[in-house]
Amino acid sequence: MKQIYLDYNATTPVRPEVLEAMLPFYKEQFGNPSSVHWAGRAVAGAIEKAREQVAALINASPAEIVFVSCGSEGDNMAIKGTLAALKGKGNHIITTAVEHPAVLETCQYLEKNGYDVTYLPVDCDGRLNLDDLEAAITDQTVLISVMWANNETCNIYRIEEIGAIAKKHKVRFHTDAVQAIGKLPIDVQKANVDLLVLSGHKIGAPKGVGAIYVRRGTRMVPLLHGGHQERNRRAGTQNVAGIVGLGVACEVAAAEREEVYQRMRTLRDKLEDGLLAQIPEIKLNGTPDRDQRLPNTLNVSFAYIEGESLLLNMDMYGIAASSGSACSSGSLEPSHVMGAMCVEITLAHSSTRFSLGPETTEEEIDKVLEILPATVQRLRDMSPLYNCGKSSSEECLTCETVRRI
């Protein structure tokens, strides 16, 4: 059975050229980059080369790049470190209700420690009203944190406009760009971003490495203490092989982004058109404007069925996707993103995210379009909601909701 991987937003395979670049740093070039002798100098130089490669992808200076272990650490470091540096300047943070948990849970932690947080709402398509954002700014606002692209709906937010608002009001601006890196053109200078976080395993580098862009002159207190690494901004021996891999992945992403964008966009559109045409009572989660979603991602809900059941059935055919619902992690609550968009709870539980990558083929999309309609119908035939037998005149809120899709 051929396996079809459509969960690239969760993680990506390490690219062959990335792995090849990393291997020497597990054996021949094994030194500690903090050592002053020949073994340390060799790997220290490799780290600085990677810093240049990461910086080039986002139009930054190498000195503005700080290597970390992952996107979650980067978000924590950017937010907590900035607020610690600005202690006494204000206690108000503005973010959105649809951020990644690395941002939301950090803000919730800060609320418990004296900070005031505004969680901006989104509309039913997941779009953010920038008038609401600007209206929320007060003389106590010290940080705005808005993701570049949502990890579930993959709506792209108007980062340049948000950056201009933040600059106008002299407020620091942080963005989690983990899902956007490698898929969209990103220029931190043009976007007026002060802090940007990216993660290696989303772009063909290994798990366990990421980076923060910290604009020159932006003060940030480190989370980790005990060493001088990363220009005293992040203590701890660097993950040399991972950092080298991240650098190469960024270089490849810069070279291939336009070609990969167009190919993934074409395949995404084919999948979207095919599902909408073949499966009735299906709901698109996210903005209907395809240009305002990441080119590789489609999030849809299938009325009357559970997303987890659909994932398990697709897995039987070798198809890997992900659920927009948190039920797969043991929670009965639907995704907070679907909740913020006011998606009806049964539809929120059926939300399914298909995310494509550079290796995705048209034949794989054709196979999904061949298998999925029958799979959805089979699950619906077993669903008590689908077969409840109520007429439209009887009171069945769930049925009435899905009839309106």
Q: Long-range contacts for 54-58 (Cβ within 8 Å, ≥24 apart)? A: 54/198, 54/211, 54/246, 54/247, 54/250, 55/213, 56/250, 56/251, 56/254, 57/181, 57/182, 57/186, 57/250, 57/251, 57/253, 57/254, 58/177, 58/181, 58/186, 58/187, 58/188, 58/196, 58/198, 58/213
- Angle among Cα 86, 218, 225 to the nearest 5 degrees reads 75
- Active-site hit among 327, 388, 396, 399: 327
Q: Distance (Å, rounded) from C-alpha 311 to C-alpha 384?
A: 19
Q: Distance (Å, rounded) from C-alpha 116 to C-alpha 307?
A: 35
Q: Distance (Å, rounded) from C-alpha 387 to C-alpha 274?
A: 25
- Angle among Cα 305, 154, 144 to the nearest 5 degrees reads 125
Which pair of tokens denotes residue 56?
A: 């080039």
Nearest partner of 202 among 126, 255, 149, judged by Cα: 149
Active site residue 327: yes
Instruction: Report which residue type is found at 121.
Output: P
In sequence order, the β-bridge partners of residue 214 are 195
Instruction: Report which residue type is found at 30.
Output: F
Q: Which residue has the tokens 């059935």?
A: 313
Instruction: Report which residue type is found at 282.
Output: I
Q: Distance (Å, rounded) from C-alpha 5 to C-alpha 357?
A: 9
Which of the residues are catalytic? Answer: 327
